[in-house]
Amino acid sequence: MINSEMNKLVETLLQGDHAGALAEAKRLRAAGVAPERIVTEGMEAAMSRLDDKCTVESFNLLEIMLVGRAVSAVANELYPEGMPPEQGRATFVIATLEGDVHDLGKNITRMVLIGKGYRVVDLGKDCPVENLVNAAQREQADAVLVSGLISPVIAQVRKVRPALAERGLGGIKVVAGGAALKQSSAEALNVDYVAETAFDGARYLDELMRRRHE
Amino acid sequence: MPELILGSDGETHRISFEPGPSVRDVLDTTDFRVRSGCRGLGACGLCRVRVAGGESGAPTLNERIHLSPELLSQGVRLACQILPRHDLHIEILNPAPPSNWKSTPDAALLHNARDQPREGRLLPPGIKHPCGVAVDLGTTHLCLSLFDLVNGRWLADRMGHNPQANFGADVVTRLAAAVESPGAAREMSRLVVMAIGEGLLDIATREGFDLRRIVYFTLVGNTAMLALLSGRNSGLLLQPDYWIRPVDCLPLETSAWVAAWGINPVAAVEVIAPLAGFVGSDLLAGLVAMHLAEGEAPALFIDFGTNSEIALWSGEALWVTSAAGGPAFESSGISCGAPAEAGAVFRVTLGEEGDMVCRIIGDDRAKGLCGSGLVDLIARLLETGRLTRTGKFAGGEAGFTFNAGETVLTLTKGDVDLLQRAKAAVGAGIRALCDSAGVGVGQLRRVCVGGAFGRYLDVGSAQAIGLLPALPQAVVELAGNTALAGCCDVMLSSLAAQRLERLRGSARLINLASYPGFEDAFLENLYLQPMREE
C-alpha cells in the first residue's frame, strides 16, 4: 500500500521523470519527512511496482534506466555523502570484474538496489578480485555482486569465494549476473546465486536479508 | 509490381518481381527453384514450367528444340526463356531438390552496376577461360560471387547459411565452443570449407560451369569467422585486449581446401587479414567498395549486424568502431521475427484506414518481420501515436497485433526493447566516432549502409526512429552486401587490394566499451526519435 503523501514521488519515479522526482523529494524533505521514510515508502514502493511490470515480455531497458537515474538522483539528494551504513541497512559491494569493461548491467543493478533502500558500494569496471575483497572487508558487506558480459570473466568470478574465505569472510554471499554468467550454474561459477535479471538478484538479496533479521 | 503466381503442392504462392529477369531468375531467389543445368541460356532444357495464365511471349528457338509441338501447345515452356512483364500464372514441372543455396536478389544489380575491369592481376598461363571467386564469410550467411577474369564479367552469385550455426548463433558462443573443444573447432572449420564447396557445386551443376576454371579465390569475413575457418587464435578473440589489436588468423595451409572444392590445383587462395579482433576484413572490403576514405567531405559507413561495424571518414582520417547491440537487425530474438529471406515482411506502410500494409520477400505467405520490416512497423506505430518514444504502447498494451497477408503477427514490448538496444549501441558508436574525429553528424555528406538489412531498409523510417542520422535522404546510400562487393574488387584488381592495405595501415580504432560518454550516448539513443546532434 502506497502512503498517499508519497503518491507523487512514486509516480514521478516510475515515469522516469528525473526533475519531477527530485523536486518532489525536496518538497517532502522541506515538509519534514525523514529521508528514511522517503526511501522506504517512496523509492522502495516505486521499485516494487517496476519489478511487477518487468516480465520478460514487457521488459524495457530505457524505462528501467530512466527510473534508475531518477532513483539515483533522489538518493543523492537525500544522502549527498552516500547512504549511511547505520539503521540496519544492508551493504552490498558491486563490480564488473577484471577483463570486462561492460558495466551497463552492473549500473542498472546498482540503481535497482539503491531504489530498494540498500547501501551499494560500486567499484566500477575492470576491477581486480583483490580490490573487491578489500572493499567487502572495509565496508562490512553483506554480499558482493559481480557482473560480466563476456565469458573470459568466468575465471575471475570463480576466484571470488576462495579469496573471501582466505580473509575469513566466507559468510559473505556472492551473487553473479550478466550475459556471460547467467547461462552458468551457481556451482559452475562457485557463487551463491546466479541472477537472471537485476530484479531477480534484488529479490534473492531481499529474501537473504529478511532471513537474517528473523 | 507484377506477380508470379505459382501453383505448387496444391498451394498458391505469389511472388512480386521487377520486370527484366527471366522466370528462372525470379524463382532462383526464392525457395521454389526449378531444375537447371546451364546458365539460363536455354541450352539444357531442364527448367520446364507450365504457363497456366498470363502473357508469356512466343516460344524461343531453344524452346522449340527442347519441347515438342504437343508440349508447347499444352503451355509447357522453359523458365529461363520467359521474360515476364505482367502477372504470370505458372506451375513448376521440374522442381530442383531442396537446397541451402539460392541467388541473392540484388546480385545482378550489385555487379552489373559496377564497372570493375581486372587490373594489375596476372593470370596463370595455360588455363582456358580463367575465373575467380570472391567470398564473404558471415556469421549467418556465406555469399559467393563468380567472375570471368578475362573480361571482368560477373557470372553467378550464391548465398547459403553458415552451417556453424549449430554451434551457436553468435560469434562468442562459437568461439567459446572452439576454445573448449578442439574437436568442435575442427568441425566448425570443416563445415565452412564443405559449405563453400557445396555453393561452388551448386553453381557448377546449375550453370553448367567447370570449377577447374577457377584460379583465384579471395575471402573476407569478420575476425571470428576467419579464426574459426583457419583454426588459429580463436581464444584471443575472447580477450578484450585483442579487440583493438591485430589477430593472426590466416590459414597456414590451403591445398586441402583447393582439392576439396575441385577448383584448379594452381588456384591462388587468399584470405584477407582482419584489421583487429573486432574489425574484420569484411569491413575493410566494404570501405574499399564504397570508396569511403576518399575525398574531403566527412562520410559515415555502417554495416548493421549483431556486431555493427561503423567507420567514419573525417576528410583526413579514418575512425572505426564496433557496436555489439544484439541480433535485432537480423530479427533474431524478435518474437514475430524472421530472417530476411522468402516469407519475411520487409516493408510496412499505412493503409487508408490506418491499417498496416505489409510487403513480403519472395512469397505471399508471411513468416515474420525481418529487420527492415521491424524498423518500418515501429516507425508506423510511432507516427500514428500507438507507441511512445520511450518504447511503450500508448494504451499500456503488452503488444500490437496486425495482419501480414493471411498471417497474424504480434509485436511485443520486449521486441521493441531489443530493437531500441541495438539502435542505441549503433547510435553510441556513431557518437563516439564523431566525438573522436571532431565531426558533427550534420556535417556528414555521405551515409553508406551495408549488409542485407540495409538493402531493404526504408531510409525515412530509419531516420524517424533515430537509427540513421536525420540528413537529406539523398545523402544515404543503401549498398547491399558491400563486403562481398569489396572482396570482388580486391580479387579483380591489385589497385583495390592496395587501397585496402592503405586503409588497414591508417584506421584508428575506438573501443566503444572504454568510451567515456558511452552510457549517456546509449541512453539518449534508446529513445525512438530522430537522432540528435550533440
Q: Which residues contact A187 (CB under 8 A, 6 or more apart)?
A: none
Name which of B392, B511, B514 is nearest A60 (Cβ-Cβ). Answer: B392
The secondary structure element, H or E, covering residue B224 is helix B223-230
Residues on chain B touching A16 (C-beta within 8 angstroms)? 390
Q: Across the interface, do B513 and A107 touch by the CB < 8 Å criterion?
A: no
Domain with CATH 3.10.20.30 in chain B: 3-92
Which CATH number fits the domain B3-92, given the four candidates 3.10.20.30, 3.50.50.60, 2.60.40.1180, 3.40.50.1470?
3.10.20.30
Lowest mean pLDDT among A58-62, A172-176, B95-99, B164-168: A58-62
**Does A150 score more than 90 pLDDT?**
no
Q: What is the pLDDT of residues B171-183, one digit of tens each?
A: 888 998 899 899 9
Do A103 and A154 sit in the same domain of this protein? yes
- CB contact, 8 Å: A183 with chain B? no
Average confidence score pLDDT of chain A: 85
Place of cell 539503521: A87
Q: What local confidence, expressed as pLDDT, does residue A134 receive?
A: 95
B190 or B363, which is more confident: B190
Q: C-alpha cell of B90?
A: 505458372
On whether any CB of chain B is under 8 Å from the CB of A102, the answer is yes
Q: Which residues of B touch A63 (CB under 8 A)?
A: 390-392
DSSP class of residue B43 equals S
Q: Does A51 touch chain B (CB under 8 A)?
A: no
Which residue in A65, A107, A151 is closest to B238 by CB distance? A151
Asked if residue B466 lies in contact with residue B527, where contact means CB atoms within 8 angstroms, the answer is: yes
Ranges A82-86, B294-298, B357-361: which has the least confidence: A82-86
Of chain A, the end-to-end C-alpha distance in Å amounts to 23
Percent above pLDDT 70 for chain B: 97
Is the pLDDT at A57 greater than 70, yes or no?
A: no
CA distance to A53, B269, B371, B456, per residue, from B376 (Å): 27, 41, 9, 10
Q: Return the higher-pLDDT residue of B336 and B29.
A: B336
- Which of the two residues, B165 and B222, has the higher pLDDT score? B222
Q: Which of B91-95, B374-378, B513-517 has the highest mean pLDDT?
A: B374-378
Alpha helix ranges (H) inside chain A: 7-14, 18-30, 35-37, 44-53, 61-78, 104-115, 129-138, 154-166, 186-189, 198-213
Instruction: Say if residue A106 is in the same domain as residue A188.
Output: yes
Q: Which of B306, B413, B529 to mutate to test the interface with A (most CBs of A within 10 A)?
A: B413
Q: What average pLDDT does range B498-524 have in this prediction?
A: 92
Contact A156/B at CB under 8 A: no
pTM of the model: 0.83
Whether the per-residue pLDDT at B529 is higher than 90: the answer is yes
**Domain edge (last residue) among A26, A48, A82:** A82
**A65 in reach of chain B (CB within 8 A):** yes
Size of interface A-B (CB pairs under 8 A): 63
Same domain, A110 and A76: no
State the average pLDDT over residues B301-316: 93
| pLDDT band, residue B107 (cuts 50/70/90) | low
Give yes or no for residue A29 having a pLDDT over 80: yes
From A103's Cα to the closest Cα of chain B, the distance in A is 9
Fold classification of B284-327+418-526 (topology level): Nucleotidyltransferase; domain 5 (3.30.420)
pLDDT for res A1: 47
Burial class (CB in 10 A: 0-12, 13-18, 19+), A155: exposed
**Mean pLDDT of the region B178-203:** 95
Per-residue pLDDT of B504-516, as tens digits, reads 999 999 998 888 8
For cell 567514419, name the residue.
B312
Q: Are residues A57 and A117 in the same domain?
A: no
Q: Is A169's Cβ below 8 Å from some Cβ in B?
A: no
Note the pLDDT of residue B348.
96
- Split into its structural domains, chain A has a count of 2
B519 with A59: Cβ contact below 8 A: no
Domain membership of residue A144 as a residue range: 86-214
Residue at which a domain ends, from A82, A98, A133: A82
The CATH code of the domain that includes A48 is 1.10.1240.10
pLDDT digits 0-9 by tens, A182-204: 778 889 889 999 988 888 888 89
Q: Is the pLDDT of residue A56 over 60?
A: no
pLDDT in tens, B234-248: 988 888 778 888 999
ipTM above 0.85, yes or no: no
- Chain B CB contacts of A60 under 8 Å are 390-392, 413-414, 416-417, 420
Among chain A residues, CA nearest to B334: A57
Q: Are residues A110 and A207 in the same domain?
A: yes
Residues A164 and A194 in one domain: yes
**Domain at A180, CATH number:** 3.40.50.280
Query: Are A93 and A184 part of one and the same domain?
Result: yes
pLDDT at position B8 over 70: no
Residues of A in contact with B240 (CB under 8 A): 99-101, 150, 152
Q: What is the mean pLDDT of residues A54-69?
A: 77
> Which residues of chain B lie closer than 8 angstroms to A58, CB-CB?
398, 412-414
Domain with CATH 3.30.420.480 in chain B: 107-278
| Cβ–Cβ below 8 Å for B390 and A60 | yes
From B242, B238, B232, select the one nearest A153 (Cα to Cα).
B238
Q: Which residue of A has its CA nearest to B526?
A: A62
Tell me the C-alpha distance between B363 and B244, whole Å.
42
CB within 8 A of A130, min separation 6: which ones? A163
Residues A106 and A15 in one domain: no
| Chain A CB contacts of B177 below 8 Å | none
Please report how the helices B182-207 and B223-230 are oriented relative to each other, as an axis angle in degrees rounded to 10.
100
Whether residue A118 is found in the same domain as residue A42: no
Q: Say yes or no: domain B107-278 is CATH 3.30.420.480.
A: yes
Length of chain A, please? Answer: 214
Torsion angle of the four alpha carbons A194, A198, A199, A204, in this order, in degrees rounded to the nearest 10: 30
Picking from A49, A82, A115, the residue at the C-terminal end of a domain is A82
Structure confidence at residue B432 (pLDDT) = 96
Note whether A74 and A91 are same-domain residues. Answer: no
Question: Does the pLDDT at position A101 exceed 80?
Answer: no
Mean pLDDT (chain B, rounded)? 90
The predicted model gives B82-87 an average pLDDT of: 94
Please answer yes or no on whether A99 and B239 come within 8 Å at the CB atom.
Answer: yes
In the block, cell 508440349 appears at B71
Per-residue model confidence (pLDDT) at position A63: 84
Does pLDDT of B266 surpass 90? Answer: yes
Residue B301 reports pLDDT greater than 90:
yes
Give the chain B residue whose CA is nearest to the CA of A63.
B390
